[in-house]
Chains A and B, each alone.
Chain A
Amino acid sequence: MNAHLIRHHCRTQLARLVVIVACIVSSLSASAQQQQRQRSRGQVNPDDKTTGFKENPRMLAAFNEVVAAPSRSVVRVRCDGKDVALGTVVGADGWIITKYSELTAGVAPIVVMKDGRTLLAKVIGVENRYDLAMLKVDTKNLIPVQWGESKAAIVGELLASPGVGVEPVAVGVLSVAARAVKSRDLGHPPPPANAGYLGVGLDEGEGGARVAEVMVNSAADKAGLRVNDVVTLIADTPIIDSETMVNTIRNHRPGDAVPIKVMREGKELDLKATLGKRPPDPGLLRREYQNHLGSALSERRTGFPQILQHDMILRPDNCGGPVVDLDGKAIGINIARAGRVESYAIPAEAVRALIDDLKSGKLTAATTQPTSSTTKPAPTTTMPAK
């Protein structure tokens, strides 16, 4: 559930825990199913019409031509003897980009080249928001990936994730074109527990945020806010759209009395709301559960400033490699298996803009770690809706 929905979410009434969710029709645990799926991989009969095309060997083989060239630019990244990610060659003299948070802290990653060579790598640069790390191995004559343009990629394009083998590690389709992720969108952690709660649903309004819904008995209700009021000022913060309003409310605490200026039927009106506490979200567990059904998710799967979204069922340890279009051009770097229906890649343009800084060592874990001093991955909460 995104923040927008959270705002729509009910005030705490057990009576109203309406959760519009797809119902779980099987009781098998996700992890067991996952293991089963992974075990059965490769054993799927190409003529079996009851399993998905993404695991069908004949379907995957149709993509061999597509990944033949880009797979020469893919390496396997290992830490402590375990496969942790794929890497993408971005410079012939040993520069490889990968997913940072999959690396084991304090352990030098090992890169396994397509020809079988095993090389020790150094982490030269880290960009935490995008979760990218630049590795350097001491070698020459690598084949850098051929970049495409994510901007030109349109929804419906067939995509593949090349691995180090002949077949792609995953195939699918572009689900959503490259986009900047708003703070309200999936991919950002929920508001802090101590954020204030007004209890309105919002739309964009003329010169402010328009109240679309007022939750019964909420702070908004008690303050006299009404549907169609356009909020223009909260405390000292001018409200230009629903997003500024959400952020402003979140910056206050439960119990804060905040003055709210609204336009109602052409007249300006001053109200005062005593903010409440954000209601607990019992749907969250369920949504988390649903998102975990059928495939393992990346531990870090939120907080990327720009993403393109595809429907490949990407194993978390296959992140860090390129995602290519049917011309074999990399339109992005796979960064997360983010949910049951979605995997994310960092758009090619965004990756390319970071390469020089990552190589120079200007970006390091310390300089780009926003909140924490550890090298642990960022919070991983996903927020799908009901």
Chain B
Amino acid sequence: METMNIAGKAIELDADGHLANRNDWNENLAREIAAQEGIPELTSPHWAVINFMRTVFEKEGDAPSIRRLTKESGVDTKTLYQLFPKGPAKRAAKIAGLPKPKGCI
């Protein structure tokens, strides 16, 4: 099992490099993961998306798609990609401490 070190603490990661235990997540950890993903600062629109994703996951057990993010989070697609370059659904899920979205097989 892969781990990442944050403030001297080893946090377990899953096969996709996302948090293995959702309970490990906190806002500081989110900032650390974001920095590793090339997002130096999490602004309030970032948090709006992250919190929306966590709420949906809590209720439904899977992170929302980009289409749903756009429709329901109040952030348009273009902005989503500016906030989370290179794949907002996957990247925001990672920062939000959620598993990689299942998408479809």
Does A pair with B? no
